[in-house]
Each structure stands twice: as structure tokens, then as C-alpha cells.
Amino acid sequence: MDIQTAFAQTFNTPAAILVRAPGRVNLLGEHVDYNDGVVLPAAIDRAVYLAASPTTDWIVRLCALDLNKQAAFRLDALEQRIDLDGNPLPHWAVYPAGVAWALREAGLAVKGMQAIYTSDVPIGAGLSSSAAVEVAFAAAWRALGGWEMDNLRLAQCCQRAENGYVGVNSGLMDQFTSACGVEGHALYFDTRSLEWHPVALPPGTAIVVADSGMRRTLATSAYNDRRAACERAVAALQKYKPGLRSLRDIDTVEFAAYKDYLPREARLRAEHVVKEIHRVEQAVLALQRGDAPMFGGLMFSGHKSLRDLYQVSLPELDVLVELARGLPGIYGARLTGAGFGGCTVNLIAAAQAEAFIQGLQQGYRQQTGKEARVYLCHASAGVSVEADQRG
């Protein structure tokens, strides 16, 4: 059943608008966003799809098609995080409620709404399904409210929802990529200045995401430990480079001169960050030349750094990367996301996608006894809204 039919059957009226908000994968630039670094994500052709219509009351009625669940909440009771019956909002409904809260906090008109949504972004695989949900709802309220806001600002409101309402201390990259994606391009995004521009991916390439099946059990504490180690490195380096605000402010040559003055753990973490920011800059130059092998080499180098210096890999992720290295059509592979599980991302020759995917799945099964879910993706446009022609 398509989403328009599902909406009409659920709410006994046609939808007014249809929204598409893509998931994302980060090609290069891992664990640098909280160090003011630059990243290189891409929106992908897997997305959240939302159908919605405005209502005249203060109530938001939601239907999550994939979960076969419904919920409703009042816009004038968002702080309480409760549904119409006074029960705590289910976790899946907290994301749309958080977006409404953040938009209202920004002084924007948020209308009552009937909405139904579905997604082909795998949940829990590190492709930012929650950010896509947030961006889809923000774009729906923007369209129904008739107010102006550019997509970067829209993404910032979604980040505010995730930080201040959902309670997840995420950076801006996920929401930014879903909102601002450009078809066929990666996005060079400066997390300090928020300046960005699209960079074309080499012709004839495709993105393959391989889900290891391992979930991030240690991610929160380990993430906080690494963030703290980066802060210790900055404090130590400030003795030698006054005015240093973050690891973004020291280049690879300077770091080589000072790194031996750092405690071992802080040195390892900082070395990854400093070199990873440099890798992103080099990767952009490679993409501008259409040099897929060079870009892929930087991906492999980034994985080695995440494994050995930042120490966020797992044996299963290492197996996927090493298997990819020997398969037809490969340019580069590395873990993507926070690590400790989740996915690898691969840049491959599109013409050899079928053989590559088959080889990766078979090899992973043989070496680990586990199944990898593998997704062929292409860089996609960001969020879009259109009127429902049946409405």
C-alpha cells in the first residue's frame, strides 16, 4: 500500500502534502565534528516518506506505518511529553514532538497535523533514520505553516529537538545532510563556520553500506571518554600554541612537533582527529579531480586511524574492510559512524556492484559466521515537499 492510500484510509481524507527526507552516510571525517572539523557526508537514496494535512485544532495525530502504531499529542502540552490520555509519549513519537517543540521555541507557527510516515532507512544501522524523521516533520510544518526558513536553519532546529527534547547530544551533520543533500554529490561541511558546498562524486561510482549486525553497546561511555581525551589534548597543546581553541586549529606538521608532549591516550586520539581533518581536505581535492582511487585510499587510511589511534573499531568491522579491499570494483572502505558496531561504507565502481556485494556477504559469512545486510546506495537530493495531487 502506498503512503497516500494509507493516509486516506487512516484519516478518511486525502493528504495535503508529501515529504521525502533522506538518510545519510558519512564518507570521511569521523569523530571530528566535536573538534570543529570538516566532514564529508552524502544523503542517500533511502528516505523517510511522510504524508500530512493540517488540522484546525492543537492536536498532532501520528501513524507510524512500519510499526503499525498511532499516537496523538497536544501542541500546547509538549513540555509534558504525554499523549492525549496522559501517558508518556512512545519513543518513536518523541522525535516529531521534539521538532514541534523546537520550532515553537524558535517562534514559528506550528499547526495541528495529521501525519503518516514510513521509511526504507534501516533503523539502528547508522544511516540516521531519526534525523530523517526530524527533517521530514520540520519540512512538513514549514510547508503547512507557510513560513520561510532555509534548509540549514531547518536542520539546526531539528538538532535542537534532538539535543533539548529527545536528549541525545548529537552534532549537526546528520540533520544537515538530510536537509541539504545534493544528488550525485558529497557535502563538504565545516562544522565550525557551518559553511558548506557540494562536491561531485566520481562518475560511474556507487556507495555500498554494509551493516555488520553488531550494535553499539559501549558507544555512550566510550564516546564520552574520547571526547574528554580530545579536550585534554587541547589543554596540553595550548601551552605550546596559545590561542588554540580546538584540534581544528593545529595542522599535521605542528602536531608532529608537539605530540610527544601529550599523555599517550590524548596523543592517540588527537593524532586521529588532526590527520582525519587533513584527509577530508585532501579528499575534496581528489574528488575535484575525479580521482576515485585517491579518494578510496584516504578512506582506507581513515579506517586504519579509527582502528589503531581512536580505537573505535571491532573485529567484524575490520573483516568487512579487509574483505572489501580484495573485491572487484573497490576504491575504498572504512567504518562509518561512531564505531563499536554499525556499518562500513564503501566507494565502488557501480558496474561491479553485484559482484562486490555478493563477495562481501559471502566472505563475511565465512569469516564470522554472521550475516551482513548490504545496501547499494547513490548520493541523493535533500528534503523535498510536494502537494499531493490526489488531495
| pLDDT tens string 266-314 | 999 999 999 999 999 999 999 999 999 999 999 999 999 999 999 999 9
What residues form DSSP beta bridges with 38?
A: 190
Asked if 190 and 225 sit in the same domain, the reply is no
- DSSP strand pairing (196-200 vs 330-336): unpaired
**What pLDDT does 387 receive?**
85
- pLDDT (0 to 100) of residue 219: 55
Same domain, 182 and 219: no
Q: Is 384 helix (H, G, I), strand (E, B) or coil?
A: strand
Domain match, 68 and 114 both? yes
Judge if 44 and 173 occupy the same domain: yes
Q: What is the DSSP letter of 99?
A: H
**296 and 249 in a common domain:** yes
Nearest to 138 by CA among 168, 159, 166: 159
289 and 181 in a single domain? The answer is: no
The tally of domains found in the chain comes to 2
Do residues 27 and 134 share a domain? Answer: yes
Burial status of residue 100 (CB atoms within 10 A of its CB: 0-12, 13-18, 19 or more): buried
Residue 174 is a catalytic residue: yes
Residues 183 and 210 in one domain: no
Mind listing the pLDDT tens digit for each residue in 46-105? 999 999 999 999 999 999 999 999 999 999 999 999 999 999 999 999 999 999 999 999
Measured CA distances, 163 to 8, 102, 160, 166, 324 (Å): 34, 10, 5, 6, 36
Nearest to 31, CA basis, from 306, 231, 222: 306
CB 34 within 8 A of CB 227: yes
From 2, 66, 83, 174, the catalytic residue:
174
Q: Alpha carbon of 95 to those of 91, 133, 169: distances in Å? A: 8, 7, 14
pLDDT score, position 337? 86
Residues of the chain with pLDDT under 50: none
Question: Hey, what's the cell of 299?
Answer: 578512506
- CATH number of the domain that 263 lies in? 3.30.70.890
CATH number for the domain that contains residue 70:
3.30.230.10
Q: Tell me, yes or no, whether 123 and 80 share the same domain.
A: yes
Q: Residue 259 CA to chain centroid, in angstroms? A: 31
58 and 180 part of one domain = yes
The model's pTM? 0.93
371: DSSP letter: P
CB neighbours of residue 84 within 10 Å: 13
Q: Output DSSP code: residue 246.
A: S
Q: What domain range includes position 144?
A: 3-198+380-387
Co-location of 141 and 17 in the same domain: yes
Do 192 and 121 have their domain in common?
Answer: yes
Comparing CA positions, the residue from 175, 11, 179 lying closest to residue 95 is 175
Predicted local distance difference test score (pLDDT) of residue 128: 75
